[in-house]
Structure 1
């Protein structure tokens, strides 16, 4: 059983006050009072919805023996020991890393950031490394995997809290993982979730319009992403190869390149720009994508099981990681080709209907545009889009999404996607306003249907033979969030049910996962 003295856990922190027996033995660390147990250290953090300091008494009642706080009121709870610091969220990663014996020191760590493509690139890197004989771990949007053990999750935190990251890295160390692949979100980088992770390789897929509700400006958003490159540049002595992989075709990636400092930088381009890794002779098909990969060590043909030109970008990003780790072009190609698919990304739902139905996670203006353009290239008929925009997230992107759909879809259904505590109809109205500004007319070019289940069925009713229906925004997610309620949801399953209601389903549902 892991245990530490409270004094050892807080030794390197900027403690402003403390009390009680600092030699108290801690056998667990938590930031959710409901998970406290005898021997726990409870870290009280302030969040968007609540303040952990309100639950000090609850954690103590469940057995917590020490508390790390920002402010201390002795009457709240009778703890054997406590310490106060200016920022508990910033302190937690150091506490967690110390408690778990600094697991990052025993692993090579790859961080992948970007507005779009993080998950697919992570899956490609993971598949490539496993194909090359490495034992890997994965922490990301869809799943967490420690060695061969896969753990699905739906916390909606692509990058978990620092305590959970350090716990998972410790499990990977015990499972003798060689390389950990982490999706590094801007929130995760800005909110200290990835502190105490010694990143050896950093990848930037792109930086477009997203999360301005949190960062405020695109410059601050880019600044958060740049922290990953700074981590690579400042990693210090490590027994692992390292460097940075950047998208030469993306303005956002180019804008933060200097943050890499003296770290080796590999550029990739799918558009013919001067770069270390390039893709030529790209061939798109409904069942995959082919191209010729050129690296500093030579060139090879690659045949991805993923559809869409944007997956060439993701493959180039992954190939850059392989090159930094010393893989040959042939080994890189084999690894990229070994990935069968990514859950919730351009997943085809086929029950024998005469039109195409695709479920995709696209939830930014840029990713929505890419998915709509891809579907347009795959079907001879009309393109029908169904999507919404998340509540309590970047409001500025909503009219942009509406405008994209007005330009690229023949018909759109604006619906709900995790409204949280916002008015779902008001969110939809902001999307519709962008569509109208782009020339769309309600009733002719789009409709607003708040209930997502009804929206999907309406879109299928409008579909004709040869058409394509894109269900965007939910992808792999397993719930829709209304207020604090998580309502169970499975987009692909919902599409299948709707198709069966319309008489299809004599053949088995197909998917590309």
Structure 2
């Protein structure tokens, strides 16, 4: 069965070459006069940390006095304009990409920091873009519903590196490091690495630790530092950019605290990201000597990577004191069917799990019924997103708003 899936997967890329690459990308290049050729593009990809790394690099380059634009899953910043991109697609359509690039050129922008996805790369949405530098955060278990196998997923990510002049990869991410090196073995691309063990200048190290408590965000900062040095950005400008970085909506975002119940919203929607987020919150609770519980609310998306569902369920149940399984973009799948799959590998952790299919009700249940003084409620999976998919319809939705309303109901006087 997998062989058939792989065959169709490879055939589909030819279809995207014609439909997306030639009919949208190439025609867009011709229409707008090949704008990518007049920009220095730095592209960042990976499974987790793309948006944070891309946005941090944008602020670092601004601090260095560069005329720079940014396109990520959360927003695009082109000149003085902010364009909301908070839906389920990171990389815009090939035609829209060319239109954005043309606008950047028109405004005199010299640099573009671009967040790239495996889907966008595979589907030729980045037609005509040859980055000066391609940076990688990590490549972990995700999107295998689409790419079929992990090597094919890495191969899609490697398309960015193959188009770039220089590549920066994470030496600590053992699986992707080995696979990317293999994929790039026959190319003349300059490969640089970064690692947690790299010694940073004392002032830089101090600034990174002051800005980011989470180890995974410190790694994102190391990637950005490596890219910044390749671009001859000074340590002073890097630190200034780091300090001016405002954070990302829906990434470890503090919603508020009512009756000493703390609520956090985070985008973690992969096994690796969920594990890192829960571990980070737990570490923070230990540092503050909190005796409260960690309550996790999350689900798994419908029509996406079925293999990760039991992994996500076990991670949540193992690392939280209570995990509440709920809906997360079920699309045309049955929510309860997804939740049952999330429970398949719970083992002895069944007693630490509750299931509430409606996401609004799950958030209210966690905050208003379960949480007590000193507890932390983490709501994972949606982050910044402003819609949720049921059936074939995108309905307005915000984890942040739902959490704020649930907190407000605990203490109406705060309204």
Q: Same fold (TM over 0.5)?
A: yes
Separation in structure 2 between the aligned mates of residue 182 and residue 100 of structure 1, nearest angstrom: 19
Separation in structure 2 between the aligned mates of residue 345 and residue 278 of structure 1, nearest angstrom: 27
Q: Which runs of 5+ in 1 are unaligned?
A: 1-47, 49-69, 71-84, 234-242, 281-290, 295-299, 509-513
Is the counterpart of residue 244 in structure 1 residue 167 in structure 2?
Answer: yes
How big is each residue's C-alpha offset from its partner over 1:155-208, in whole Å with a ceiling of 9 and x where there is no partner?
A: 421001111111111111111111111111000110000120121110000000
Is the counterpart of residue 501 in structure 1 residue 412 in structure 2?
Answer: no
Separation in structure 1 between the aligned mates of residue 265 and residue 17 of structure 2, nearest angstrom: 45
Secondary structure at the counterpart of residue 428 of structure 1: helix
Alignment partner of 1:198 out of 124, 127, 130: 130
Note if contact 2:44-2:134 (Cα within 8 Å) is conserved in structure 1.
yes
Separation in structure 2 between the aligned mates of residue 469 and residue 107 of structure 1, nearest angstrom: 43
Is the counterpart of residue 440 in structure 1 residue 349 in structure 2?
Answer: yes
Within-5 A mapping of 1:297-336: 301-336=207-242
How big is each residue's C-alpha offset from its partner over 1:260-304, in whole Å with a ceiling of 9 and x where there is no partner?
A: 53333221111x2xxxx5459xxxxxxxxxx8647xxxxx74355
C-alpha change, 1:423 and 1:195, in structure 2 (3 Å) is same
Shift of 1:119: 0.3
Is the counterpart of residue 268 in structure 1 residue 194 in structure 2?
Answer: yes
- The structure whose Rg is larger is 1
Secondary structure at the counterpart of residue 221 of structure 1: helix
Note if contact 2:72-2:85 (Cα within 8 Å) is conserved in structure 1.
no
Is the counterpart of residue 368 in structure 1 residue 299 in structure 2?
Answer: no
Aligned-pair Cα RMSD in Å = 2.0
Q: Which runs of 5+ in 2 are unaligned?
A: 1-8, 10-14
Shift of 1:258: 4.7
Shift of 1:406: 1.7
- The structure with higher relative contact order (CA 8 Å, sep 6+) is 2
C-alpha change, 1:413 and 1:148, in structure 2 (3 Å) is same
Note if contact 2:298-2:381 (Cα within 8 Å) is conserved in structure 1.
yes
Alignment partner of 2:19 out of 68, 88, 94: 88
Within-5 A mapping of 1:422-501: 422-434=333-345, 436-437=346-347, 439-441=348-350, 444-460=351-367, 461-501=369-409
More helix by share: 2
Note if contact 1:279-1:312 (Cα within 8 Å) is conserved in structure 2.
no
Name the residue aligned to 1:4.
none
Note if contact 1:126-1:136 (Cα within 8 Å) is conserved in structure 2.
yes
Separation in structure 2 between the aligned mates of residue 184 and residue 449 of structure 1, nearest angstrom: 34
Name the residue aligned to 2:306.
395
Within-5 A mapping of 1:50-449: 87-91=18-22, 92-233=24-165, 243-251=166-174, 252-260=176-184, 261-270=187-196, 272=197, 277-278=198-199, 293=204, 301-379=207-285, 380=290, 381-434=292-345, 436-437=346-347, 439-441=348-350, 444-449=351-356
C-alpha change, 1:174 and 1:505, in structure 2 (3 Å) is farther
Separation in structure 1 between the aligned mates of residue 209 and residue 62 of structure 2, nearest angstrom: 18
Separation in structure 2 between the aligned mates of residue 453 and residue 302 of structure 1, nearest angstrom: 36
Separation in structure 2 between the aligned mates of residue 278 and residue 265 of structure 1, nearest angstrom: 19
Secondary structure at the counterpart of residue 416 of structure 1: coil
TM-score (norm 2): 0.90
Note if contact 2:73-2:89 (Cα within 8 Å) is conserved in structure 1.
yes
More strand by share: 1
Of 211-220 and 370-379, the range deviating more from structure 2: 370-379
